[in-house]
Chain A
Amino acid sequence: MIQEILVGVTVLAAVGYLVKKFFFKKNSSNSCGSGSCGCG
């Protein structure tokens, strides 16, 4: 049972991390020059 819970937590953490990375971006200042220059 503990093993199943640990798997669930690990998988949730992995999915959560990817979702956070994918969908929640840090706001970056848009003052680094013209055009799309890598400022996200």
Chain B
Amino acid sequence: MGKQINVALVGNPNTGKTSVFNQLTGLTQKIGNYPGITVEKKEGVTKISRILTAHILDLPGTYSLNASSLDENIVIELLLNKNHKDYPDVVVVVSDIENLKRNLLLFTQIKDLGIPTILAINMADRMERKGIELDIPQMEEQLKTKIALVSARKKTGFDELKKHIKNYSLLPTTPCCNVSSIDKSYFDKLQQTYPEQERYKLWLLITHDANFGELDRKTIASRNGLPQKTKDEIKKLQHKEVVARYQFINGMLKACFKQDLNLAKGMRAQLDKVLTHPVWGYLVFFVILLLIFQAIYDWSTIPMDWIDEGFAYLGQWVKLNLPAGMFTNLLAEGVVPGIGGIVIFIPQIAMLFLFISILEETGYMSRVVFLMDKSMRKFGLSGKSVIPLVSGTACAIPAVMAARNIENWKERLITILVVPFTTCSARLPVYLIIISLVIPDEHLLGIISYQALALMAMYIIGFGAAIAAAWIANKSLRVGTRSSFVIEMPDYKLPIFKNVGLTVVDKTKAFVVGAGKIILSISIILWVLASFGPSDTFGNARKNVQAEMASTDPMPQGVDMEQRIASYKLKHSYMGIMGRGIEPAVTPLGYDWKIGIALISSFAAREVFVGTLATIYSVGSDNQITIKERLAGEKNTATGKPLFTLASGISLLLFYAFAMQCMSTLAIVKRETNSWKWPLLQLFLMTGFAYLTALIAYQLLNL
């Protein structure tokens, strides 16, 4: 029977670690989250020899073992915990040929933990072009390891890497760099207190907030006889440790690494000059954003329309072909549209991540961060927040997912929290119908439509609210996060399409599996609320409507009659009762119970607002002109005045601009933050703020 070993892939970000992982595991990989946190866990299996297979774990990118982010803590947790089921038999540190010096800091730290460690130098195919020469035997001797020169792009060097993995038990586990000299007496005392433990492991436990199994940070630090260190002293020692490691690395590279500097620069420098230029850089970025925006907003609509039509057809098919009854109705009106409501987002998600992945792969994303970081940081955001904020104008769901690219937890959280303020495409039908009702169809200076200006104002309000909310969140959120700001400028590369494809598939799957179940469950519950009601009214809908219409001449027939019954049913359904129940709360905003129902039902998705109003007013939802005409003629039952005035219209626009009216976004925020705390906070704060602004707007404009 064959043996299986655990192999951990570790490395700095942008070293091509994931490409190496993809090359080793191919389609055997599976992607999930680390338990309890929202960092991706990638694992797969590869055959090393006839009798040996390796379970490969692609750990999150980290610059060192001095953790400052959630991702980095995962690496440390695993490497320090021998009882962990994934504890590696051998670690493969992936480094990039052009950034060896920085990458080797992590290598020397891991080597000190006493785990067999292999160095895989990736992008080896670029050595010649960049004028790099390496003395591998001498490097192996100094680093006390085996080195494999690999190229994930050219698929070379992997046999050698597998050979080293196969012989992992022969690798020396002694440290290559003795850092205990930075405070010899302290490290000696530490080792005496815990003779059975690795010295560097104890040091890491003391310098981190984490606890691992029986070894507890506080008990180590307070064990009798061990000199106590203050936080400042520990920090100073950490700095000394890094300096000592770099001294060792510099010495080693001086002997083993040669580079012709004339070949090192070239196109990269020329491109950087343009792409990070204070004027041209923004211009190029603007054009790229426009392209992404166009893809999400426009190109995606083609497959989205197919999906929409497909599910509408499926719903119809279910209704016509399955035995009539309650369950068939649930399938046709609840489950099928619910699944459709999940699947319809796939083109937008796939398109966004296709672009993000290409931007990451080519190395351009780092230039964007460099360009935007300074201005975004003032509001507690990252340079990378620009992508979610812009894509949020198409749909908040892929935008929230895109925030995963932000390493710093606080910046990522703030981005996730404020993205739903940006004007998503689902708000558009609501805006269009309300603007057409309350803003005059006239032109400023005979050219610019007031209605177009109003629509543009809604987009500006949305973006402004997102930025303002980010600033407030940055000032008020007490989220512990240690961040050392590093902008890395990787070399420009052509994207590896296998990586791009895998990213698109992973992200799409994560949405469908993760948020999809929540969306479907809520859709089913909303269907129940809209499809059932008290038996005396809801149950006798047909009889009651016929009785009401008895005096009407001519009495409505056919489709008209059916629409009136549907309207009556909705009014007397549990959702209708809820709508009438919240009427006292929405009256000060200028709404009546009918809008109340539309507000509740549009919690499923904002665009449902128009469809619900169409049902309540007994008109076909496709016919916007008819809806508009009906709404324009509608009177407020309390005041007898027109329901849709400038005051109530602006109030409704502001409510939709700020309220968290989207269960899918809440579901994805829950998934991305791994907590209900943040989506609930969004729901109550955003909706509370929406209520307040709508109230003030209505009351002021109604004076």
Q: Tell me the A residues contacting B by CB distance below 8 Å.
A: 2-4, 6-7, 10-11, 13-15, 17-18, 21-22, 26-29, 31-40
Contacts and interface: CB of A to CB of B under 8 A. Distances in A.
A35 to B, nearest CB: 2
A38 B674 contact: yes
A32 B326 contact: no
24 contacts: A3-B323, A3-B325, A7-B330, A10-B330, A11-B524, A14-B520, A14-B525, A15-B525, A17-B517, A21-B518, A26-B36, A28-B37, A29-B77, A31-B211, A31-B212, A32-B74, A33-B70, A33-B208, A35-B481, A37-B479, A38-B39, A38-B409, A38-B413, A38-B673
Given A37-B70, A37-B479, 12 more contacts: A3-B326, A4-B325, A10-B330, A15-B525, A17-B517, A18-B525, A31-B210, A32-B37, A32-B70, A33-B210, A33-B482, A40-B36
A17 B95 CA distance: 44
Nearest to B211: A31
Contact of A39 (B67, B70, B327, B481): B70
A33 B67 contact: yes
A33 B327 contact: no
Contacts of A35: 478-481
A36 B125 CA distance: 42
B540 interface: no
The 6 closest A-B pairs by CB, nearest first: A35-B480, A28-B36, A3-B325, A3-B327, A14-B521, A31-B210
B409 A37 contact: yes
Interface in B492-538: 517-518, 520-522, 524-525, 528
B181 interface: no
B94 to A, nearest CB: 23
Contacts of B528: 11
Contact of B675 (A4, A7, A29, A40): A40
Contacts, number: 105
Nearest to B323: A3
A21 B514 CA distance: 11
B85 to A, nearest CB: 13
B676 interface: yes
B425 interface: no
B502 to A, nearest CB: 24
Contacts of A36: 479-480
A17 B522 CA distance: 10
Contact of A4 (B73, B210, B327, B413): B327
A28 B70 CA distance: 13
Contacts of B210: 31-33
A26 B521 contact: no
A29 B524 CA distance: 34
A26 B32 CA distance: 15
Given A3-B328, A4-B326, A31 B674 contact: no
A32 B80 CA distance: 13
Contacts of B39: 38
B451 interface: no
Contact of B37 (A7, A14, A38): A38
B37 A40 contact: yes
Interface string B663-696: 0000000100111100000000000000000000
B554 interface: no
Contacts of B211: 31
A3 B676 CA distance: 34
